Amino acid sequence: MNKTVVLVVVGIGTALSLIGDSSLYTVLPTHTADAAISLSAVGVMLSANRWVRLASNGPAGWLSDRLPRRMLFIPALFLGALSTAIYGFTTGYWPLLIGRLLWGISWSGVWVSGNTIVLDVATDQNRGRMIGFYNVAFFSGASLGSLLGGWLTDLLGYAIAMRIAALLTLIGAVIVLLFLPETKRYRQKENSNVPESSPSGKDVSTTEMGSVFALIGVNRLLIAGTLIPTFGLFLQQTLGEQVDVLGWKMGVTTLTGLGLSVSSILGIIFLPVIGGLSDRMGNRWRVASFGLMPGTAGFLLLGLAWPWAIVLGLPLTSATSSSNQGMSTALVGDLAGNRSGRYLGFLFTAGDLASAAGPLLVFWLVGFVDLYAIYFAAAALFGLMCLVAGWWSVGDSGILGESRNLEL
């Protein structure tokens, strides 16, 4: 089996599946009339997919361990195309809500089984790098969807843009249907001499796996749940409605989108680099602790609210965001072995819960706490997680080291 082909095909399917969702996040707040919903309903539509995943991630993980990988990944991609088509061919509150709920279920299948497929073809020596490259596909698809969705909507209108997004997702699903081999047997063959509990034969540590869940939970709470929804408000409060950028007058909304897009692109660079470093060091927790340091510094700089500090701080938080996502998945692969599907389901449920609860918490806090103070608190939380990762790294004698003995 050609591992590169598997990674490329799964990456294409995953990236194209995100076009519709990312497009909707970009254009729905300004095209509520085209979708025939009220402005107050936008929040419901953009969070409904995350809430439903709290229920669908677990079953997706369970099915990933029991079914052939293609039997979950491919139908999930086609369901994603259907959900995006609903955005483009219908209008009104209930059709759009149904489409968003279907997308949430679809994404559970795509993301959980997609990561499981990558773990199937990865080894202890390249797991971090493989997961890093797969996350590049994720971030690339999300970035492409934002740019393409906004451009197509301005050029052709909301409905046509969503239909094109659905077509692209459908093309990705067909590519996967035609070219993705089944990988489950390969995983079992590679681990045929290894007990099921973990790659090294050790029982999975409850506390260590809980720390992995905390790693992704803190990451999603602070980035997707806090920074991204508040960054525009932060810039408005700090710099005003219009900003002079190298002699150009730029609206704060445009500057917000530009800043988040550029920082995401810079974050993509770190994914395979950090993953490859963890493979070479043989101690993923140590790499995770290093990866948390930029985010801690980034939120501290943002909290200062100086223009140059914002320019430096935003990409630093993005570096931690991208590295944390890859490290948490690789750590699950290290610890869970052949049971990685179910644990990935739990992992992504923790992330979805944090990202869904984050905006509710932060917009409640801004009623009586400055955003600067919230960003300083975020820096402290990243710093605390850095200490947790550092603690685990001291006891980790390597990916296959003997350091965990609590049964889950």
By percentage, how much of the chain surpasses pLDDT 70?
88
Residues 146 and 219 both lie in one domain = no
The DSSP result for 77-106, as a single string, is HHHHHHHHHHHHH--SHHHHHHHHHHHHHH
Catalogue the E-assigned strands of 163-268.
242-245, 248-251
The pLDDT, as a whole number, for residue 39 is: 78
Residues 145, 246: one domain? no
Measure the CA–CA gap between 77 and 100, rounded to whole angstroms. 14
- Given this model, what pLDDT does residue 287 score? 92
Q: Is the pLDDT of residue 198 over 50?
A: no
**pLDDT, tens only, 61-90:** 999 989 999 999 999 999 999 999 999 999
Listed range (105-119, 147-161, 195-209, 271-285) with the worst mean pLDDT: 195-209
Residues 341 and 225 placed together within one structural domain of the fold: yes
Residue 236 and residue 127 share a domain: no
340 within a domain of the structure (yes/no): yes
Cα 105 to Cα 101: distance, rounded to the nearest angstrom: 6
Of 359 and 208, the one with more pLDDT = 208
Confidence at residue 23, expressed as pLDDT on a 0 to 100 scale? 85
144 vs 341: CA distance, rounded Å: 28
Whether residues 115 and 175 share a domain: the answer is: yes
The tally of domains found in the chain comes to 2
Residue 19's nearest CA partner among 208, 198, 180, 165 is: 165
Q: What is the extent of the structural domain holding 43?
A: 3-190
| Pairwise CA distance, residues 125 & 128, whole Å | 8
Tell me the pLDDT band of 243, cut-offs 50, 70 and 90.
low
CA neighbor of 45 nearest in space, from 84, 80, 93, 108: 93
Residues 214 and 178 in one domain: no
- Asked whether residue 211 falls in the same domain as residue 288, the answer is yes
Residue 347 falls inside a structural domain: yes
Whether residues 37 and 178 fall in one domain = yes
Do 53 and 174 belong to one domain?
A: yes
CATH of the domain at 373: 1.20.1250.20
pLDDT score of 197 more than 60: no
pLDDT the model gives residue 254: 66
Q: What is the pLDDT of residue 52?
A: 94
Tell me: the pLDDT tens digits for 122-153?
888 888 889 989 989 998 888 788 778 888 88
**pLDDT tier, 337 (very low <50, low <70, confident <90, very high otherwise):** confident
**How many whole angstroms separate alpha carbon 143 and alpha carbon 145?**
5
Q: What is the pLDDT of residues 2-37, one digit of tens each?
A: 888 999 999 999 999 999 998 888 788 778 899 999
Rounded Cα gap, residues 374 and 299, in angstroms: 9
Q: Read off the pLDDT band of 231 (50, 70, 90).
A: confident
Mean pLDDT of 343-359: 89
Residue 405 in any domain: the answer is no
pLDDT at 196 over 50: no
- Do the domain assignments include residue 361? yes
| pLDDT at 244 exceeding the cut of 70 | no
Residues 333 and 257 in one domain: yes
